[in-house]
Amino acid sequence: MEVTCKGVPYEAFKDNEYIEKLVNELRESGTNVIVGTFDKLINWGRSNSLWPLTFATSCCGIEFVSLGAARFDMARFGWEVARASPRQADFMMVAGTIVNRMVPVFRRLYDQLAEPKYVIACGSCAISGGPFRNSYHVAKGIEDIVPVDVFVPGCPPRPEAMIYGIMQLSRKIKVEKFFGGVNRQEKQREFLESHPVE
Amino acid sequence: MANIQEKLAQIIPGATIEDDGTGIPQVTVDDKDWHDLARKLHDDPECPMDYLVTIVGMDWVESLGAIYYLASSKTLQRCSVRIQTTDREKPMLHSVADIWRIAEIYEREVYDLFGIVFIGNPDMRRLFLNIDWVGYPLRKDYNDDPALNPVSTENERQSDFTNVYVEKEDGTVEKTERRVFEADDFVVNIGPQHPATHGVLRFRTAVDGEMIKKIDVYMGYIHRGVEKLCESLQYPQTLHFMDRLDYFSAHNYHHGLCIAIEKAAGIEISRRAQVIRVMMDELSRIASHCLFIGTYCMDLGATTMLFYTLRVREQILDIMEKTCGARMTFNYDCIGGVMQDLAPDFVQDVKALLAVLPANIKEYNKIFTGNVIARNRMIGVGTLSREDAISYAVTGPSGRASGWACDVRKTHPYSIYSELEFDEIIATEGDSMARFECRMKEMEQSARILEQLVDNIPDGEYCVKVPKVLKLPKGSWFQMVEGCRGVFGVYIESDGTAKPYRLKIAPPCLPLATVVDHITRGAKIADLITIGGSLDYIVPDMDR
């Protein structure tokens, strides 16, 4: 099964091994025809209307603004409904450095997102701390705080790279299993149990 | 005009006046005399030192202290005052928060990062770091073991109280607690995750119905400790952080730090490099003001404007991308000139931009400036007087909208600005509309500068040879440049090695955020969005 997105050819995506692994996992677990069809329908809807949370701490946020404007126009793909409240958003694009004081706020925002929720770590600061990694007041990557679905490297990533990143997320959603055992959600639960919040 | 050296000698008899590397006279005074001297300097009729540029906290190992950079709005002269204390356990200095309003937040910053308590400051709390933070990070003996200050997902502990240190008549200092808000105030929390705060800034707002009583600006949500990081890097390596402070004035900030280092090392750069730098600065200014107009109008409900203004911004980003290789965080100015030569079609692209810019500005005015809803929301909202603008050190277009001529390109010209023809845009109203229009007109002036330069880019080398390992002589240097939002100051102190002993960044956005409390008092809560937007602060810049 070739999982693609918005008519982009399958070969144009760079990490097809990963998506094939997910597809194989799905195949091996086997699915009921009816449930599988429902899954397909739900995933079709979800993957095509991803609503981002307006969440930007620094430079990457400005590129995210460019992404929304006419030149890069994320409205072409159904991502333009940026919500200011986490309760209405599907995924958060972590655009910018997360520092110690921001960590509790950031974690709370993640907890407030409605299920199913996804996180894109956008830019080197969100991935690893970036140029500020050695600082006394910077979290070394958001992976220790919330589970991350897609990493978009760059400082800041170009808007094209952000489009590519969200497309990858969209592809991942397409092979999600909603009914029965869910790979991603199990992983997420595991993560949340090992990273509790008082 | 009285010579500033004579003035200082007259006000502070017996003080030795030294020059720092950039020709700003520096005096060292005793802490117990400081408050009276500060009053005299501030109130001097001929040359009032009414503009406090920055307070540089210092750790000289054997002593802790602070350097005050002062300037006069009348005669434009500058001086600096150094005070210090040898007590490392409980260092205390006297506050000047009652003389310059902006000193309150500057002293809080020094307290946060150096642990120096300012006696008499009405609000002696931590600024960027949590109240439970162990140690003072910019001290040389700071223990940066992450186990002491772990990254925690638990909510930080917060207090309704602030500390005030009062000196009694017998000389002992007493610590008292004071409420930040009144006990029965109704406090609404705006931010840190709020689209109208333009980043992760938090306003604790006490409201009475719809009226704002007081705002406690709570920052530090993007404090990355750039100044401490710079101390462990060599001079050329410190440059790239300038891109990530105010990412709209990346070129201007680079320019400032480069000038400071070049002055210290005695490097002369070529005329071509200077012209390129100035052109890039002005292009950034247009791009920055474009985004300001877009986001500000969006805050006021006119979302469409963002798409119009970003069109010009994208065109400028294309020009920069061709030359610098990046859309943001260019890292273009370097010590000795610029990183690489201009792209072959740079001149042609700039001309194309200048051809379309006037029509675009006309269009913005047509769509938004004359709109009756926009005018009603902006005119007379958030008025800042000239005296307050100076006292709060509100520079840039926001300061000029209040009638204060504070453009560093005119007051202390650097690079080739003294040869260029352009007007400093000054309005007198001081309201949100004036701030908005100042920026609109500044774009025209930047275009004027570009027009003068675009056909006159001289030949020559774009970067002179500088040693691979650059060591600065012992000394200190202070340089001010005009960023897109105001005066950007950078202070370097060198101990003779290849790394800065102290690199202090004085950002324009810290005063801009501080003044929000002052000008929103008595305004409606909806006006907070208008006022905050019109000041146009960048949060990573104020937090650093």
Give alpha helix (H) positions in A30-146: 33-48, 59-68, 103-112, 124-128
- CA-based nearest residue in chain B for residue A141: B151
CA-based nearest distance B74→chain A, Å: 37
Complex-level ipTM beyond the 0.95 threshold: no
Which pLDDT score, from 0 to 100, does residue B1 have?
45
Which pLDDT score, from 0 to 100, does residue B341 have?
87
- CA-based nearest residue in chain B for residue A102: B221
Strand ranges, E, within B420-513 = 475-482, 487-494, 502-506
Q: How far apart are CA B413 and CA B406, in angstroms?
A: 11
pLDDT in tens, A40-97: 888 888 888 888 888 888 888 888 888 888 888 888 888 888 888 888 888 888 888 8
Rg of the Cα trace of chain B?
23
CB contacts < 8 A, A to B, total 133
Chain B residues with CB inside 8 Å of A140's CB?
151
| Residue B464 amino acid letter | V
Q: Helix (H, G, I), strand (E, B), or coil: what is residue A134?
A: coil
Answer yes or no: CATH 3.40.50.720 is held by domain A14-194.
no
Chain B residues with CB inside 8 Å of A104's CB?
152-156
- CA-based nearest residue in chain A for residue B233: A134
Which pLDDT score, from 0 to 100, does residue A59 have?
84
Chain A residues with CB inside 8 Å of B128's CB?
101, 137
Chain A residues with CB inside 8 Å of B244's CB?
58-59, 131
**Prediction pTM value:** 0.86
Six-digit token string for B470? 């650059």
Q: Cβ–Cβ of A63/B192 closer than 8 Å?
A: no
Residue B179, class by beta-carbon neighbours within 10 Å (0-12 exposed, 13-18 middle, 19+ buried)? exposed
Compare CB distances from B224 to A66, A135, A195 and report the shortest one's residue.
A135
Residues spanned by the domain of B368: 226-543
Which domain CATH number covers B242? 1.10.645.10
Q: Count structural domains, chain B.
A: 1
pLDDT in tens, A139-155: 888 888 888 888 999 88
Q: How far apart are CA B464 and CA A131, in angstroms?
A: 27
Six-digit token string for B15? 């003080």
What are the residues facing B174 on neighbouring strands?
Answer: B166
Q: At what angle do helices A33-48 and A159-174 cross, to 10 degrees?
A: 160
- CA-based nearest residue in chain A for residue B195: A84
- Contact (CB, 8 A) for B272 and B280: no
- CA-based nearest residue in chain A for residue B247: A59
Compare CB distances from A134 to B229, B291, B329 and report the shortest one's residue.
B229
To probe the interface with A, which of B153, B227, B229, B509 has the most A CB atoms within 10 Å?
B153
Q: Cβ–Cβ of A137/B329 closer than 8 Å?
A: no
Hey, what long-range contacts does B203-206 have (CB within 8 A, 24 or more apart)?
A: B203/B516, B203/B528, B204/B180, B205/B525, B205/B528, B206/B181, B206/B182
Q: How far apart are CA A74 and CA B260, in angstroms?
A: 42
pLDDT in tens, B345-392: 899 999 999 999 999 999 888 888 888 888 888 888 888 898 889 999
Q: How far apart are CA B202 and CA B192, in angstroms?
A: 5
Instruction: Mention every residue, 6+ apart, whose C-beta is less than 8 A from residue B78.
Output: B4, B24, B53, B69, B70, B71, B72, B412
Rg of the Cα trace of chain A?
17
Chain A residues with CB inside 8 Å of B221's CB?
57, 99, 101-102, 105
Q: Which of B165, B94, B90, B173 is nearest to B125 (CA)?
A: B165
Which pLDDT score, from 0 to 100, does residue B34 have?
84
CA-based nearest distance A43→chain B, Å: 29
Q: Could you give the maximum distance between any two Cα atoms of chain B, in Å?
A: 72
Count how many residues are written for chain A: 198
The separation between CA B270 and the C-alpha centre of its own chain, rounded to angstroms, equals 28
B17 φ, ψ (degrees, to nearest 5): -105, 115
- Contact (CB, 8 A) for B223 and A137: yes
Six-digit token string for A36? 């599988």
Residue B420 lies in a domain: yes
Instruction: Mention every residue, 6+ apart, whose C-beta is less than 8 A from residue B270.
Output: B337, B460, B461, B462, B463, B464
Which pLDDT score, from 0 to 100, does residue A77 have?
84
pLDDT in tens, B26-39: 888 888 888 888 88
Weakly modelled stretches of chain B, pLDDT under 70:
1-2, 14, 21
Inform me whether the pLDDT recorded for A181 exceeds 80: no
Which pLDDT score, from 0 to 100, does residue A180 have?
56
Which pLDDT score, from 0 to 100, does residue B289 have?
92
Which pLDDT score, from 0 to 100, does residue A187 have?
67
Inform me whether the pLDDT recorded for A105 exceeds 60: yes
Q: Which of B203, B224, B227 is nearest to B215 (CA)?
A: B203
Residue B71 lies in a domain: no
Instruction: Mention every residue, 6+ apart, whose C-beta is less than 8 A from residue A70.
Output: B307, B310, B311
Compare CB distances from B221 to A63, A101, A158 and report the shortest one's residue.
A101
HEC string of B327-374 equals CCCCCCEECCEECCCCCCCHHHHHHHHHHHHHHHHHHHHHHHHCCHHH
Q: Which of B315, B321, B142 is nearest to B228 (CA)?
A: B142
CA-based nearest distance A186→chain B, Å: 22
Q: How far apart are CA B260 and CA B241, in angstroms?
A: 15
Average pLDDT, chain A: 83
Compare CB distances from B153 to A99, A107, A140 and report the shortest one's residue.
A107
Pairing of strands B333-334, B337-338: antiparallel
To probe the interface with B, which of A100, A111, A125, A146 has the most B CB atoms within 10 Å?
A100
Chain A residues with CB inside 8 Å of B151's CB?
100, 103, 139-140, 144-145
Inform me whether the pLDDT recorded for A183 exceeds 60: no
Chain B residues with CB inside 8 Å of A55's CB?
193
Structural domain boundaries in chain A: 14-194
